[in-house]
């Protein structure tokens, strides 16, 4: 039987874990088969929960790249997406929304960018707690068997602090700071980020402007701690600002962000990472925890806190050769 080539877009909208999209080719001996593609990352700290539902496609007359330009080729017309909180015994049907109308545009590429359909529910309209058992059900609207996936929401994570009233961070180019966080067994991958918020005041016009320096300290890591060299703080300031006699600057605060993902995300990343590098094959291996088709349903957690910088850090900003001319 003639072999037909399919092309699928694997795109995870995880507003947070740097897994964007990857193309995958595979072959089937059937002349046609409905292959759903489902992605979702539930986070109870987000204002809304989203599920992406698409389908693979095939044509003997048009290429996959050509078909990708047509919404009917990648979206189900009458699908229903439901989240069931089995712990709370509650069921919620999600609304089909065009993300391009909500200021979320799809990356340019082979696939049609508008409409950009996803299924949405506001978090305040549902019960969603740590360790709740969640089932996803997808009804394609054509009498086909339900597509399902089951996960447990992960526990919350937070930075470990000896003093719960601790509100300052101190940086010294000759010292390192160590950060630790709790790691429950169901939390298995971490992204740790630092944002430095700096206010600039133009003393001539009185105009103020806020600039933020963002640094990803860990991305999709298994580590539960991070050692931050204080020199990196001053290097970041130096490389993002230039001397200006009309500008006075001050560090408003430093924000630490910790994002954590469940075992499903770790398994997905392990499979993808195992097939990268010089020894990798050309075929990307597939991970799925969806009952039919491909994709991933998982959960994540988020923690963030703002810190002032210590008085000694301000003194160093004003006296170190690297930063003393920057107006702090």
- The model's pLDDT over 126-175, given as tens digits with 9 standing for 90+, comes to 999 999 999 999 999 988 999 999 999 999 988 887 554 568 999 999 99
- pLDDT tens for 194-217 read 999 999 999 999 999 999 999 999
CA-based radius of gyration for the chain: 24
pLDDT score for 254 = 96
The contacts of residue 139 (CB under 8 Å, 6+ apart) are 79, 80, 81, 82, 146
Minimal CA–CA distance to 7: which of 30, 23, 31, 28?
A: 23
Contact status, residue 56 vs residue 76, Cβ threshold 8 Å = no
Q: What values do phi and psi take at 46, rounded to 5?
A: -80, 155
Give the whole-angstrom CA distance, residue 310 versus residue 326.
Answer: 18
Give the whole-angstrom CA distance, residue 247 versus residue 253.
Answer: 18
Least confident segment among 53-62, 98-107, 173-182, 253-262: 53-62
pLDDT band at 100 (very low <50, low <70, confident <90, very high): confident
Residue 1 CB coordination number (10 Å) = 7
Q: Is the pTM of this model over 0.85?
A: no
% of the chain surpassing 70 pLDDT: 75
| 210, containing H or E segment | strand 208-221
Q: What values do phi and psi take at 35, rounded to 5?
A: -120, 100
The contacts of residue 108 (CB under 8 Å, 6+ apart) are none
pLDDT score for 18 = 37
Contact status, residue 307 vs residue 169, Cβ threshold 8 Å = yes
pLDDT score for 294 = 87
- Please provide the size of the chain in residues: 328
Minimal CA–CA distance to 29: which of 5, 65, 64?
A: 5
Q: Residue 234 in 3-state DSSP?
A: helix
pLDDT score for 274 = 62
The contacts of residue 72 (CB under 8 Å, 6+ apart) are none
pLDDT band at 280 (very low <50, low <70, confident <90, very high): very low
Query: Mean of the pLDDT values across residues 45-50?
Result: 94
pLDDT score for 27 = 44
Least confident segment among 9-18, 39-48, 184-193: 9-18
Minimal CA–CA distance to 159: which of 301, 265, 17?
A: 301
């Amino acid at each position: 039987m003639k072999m037909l080539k399919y092309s699928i877009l694997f795109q995870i909208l995880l507003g947070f874990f740097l897994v964007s999209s990857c193309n995958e080719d595979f072959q089937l001996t059937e002349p046609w088969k409905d292959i759903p593609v489902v992605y979702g990352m539930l986070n109870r700290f987000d204002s809304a929960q989203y599920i992406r539902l698409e389908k693979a496609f095939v044509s003997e007359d048009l290429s996959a790249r050509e078909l990708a330009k047509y919404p009917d080729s990648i979206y189900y017309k009458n699908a229903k997406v439901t989240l069931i909180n089995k712990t709370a015994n509650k069921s919620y049907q999600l609304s089909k929304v065009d993300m391009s109308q909500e200021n979320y545009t799809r990356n340019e590429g082979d696939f049609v960018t508008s409409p950009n359909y996803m299924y949405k529910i506001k978090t305040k309209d549902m019960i969603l707690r740590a360790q709740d058992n969640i089932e996803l059900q997808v009804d394609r609207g054509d009498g086909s068997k339900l597509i399902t996936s089951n996960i447990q929401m992960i526990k919350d994570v937070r930075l470990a602090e000896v003093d719960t009233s601790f509100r300052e961070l101190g940086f010294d180019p000759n010292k390192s700071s160590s950060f630790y966080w709790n790691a429950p067994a169901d939390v298995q991958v971490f992204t740790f980020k630092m944002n430095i918020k700096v206010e600039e005041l133009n003393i001539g016009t009185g105009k103020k402007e806020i600039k933020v320096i963002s640094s990803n300290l860990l991305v999709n890591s298994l580590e539960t701690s991070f050692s931050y060299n204080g020199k990196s703080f001053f290097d970041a300031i130096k490389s993002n600002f230039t001397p200006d006699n009309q500008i006075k600057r001050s560090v408003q605060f430093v924000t630490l962000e910790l994002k954590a993902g469940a075992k499903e995300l770790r398994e997905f990343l392990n499979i993808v990472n195992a097939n990268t590098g010089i020894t990798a094959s050309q075929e990307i291996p597939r991970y799925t925890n969806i009952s039919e088709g491909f994709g991933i349903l998982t959960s994540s957690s988020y923690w963030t806190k703002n810190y002032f910088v210590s008085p000694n850090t301000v003194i160093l900003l004003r006296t170190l050769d690297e930063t003393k001319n920057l107006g702090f």
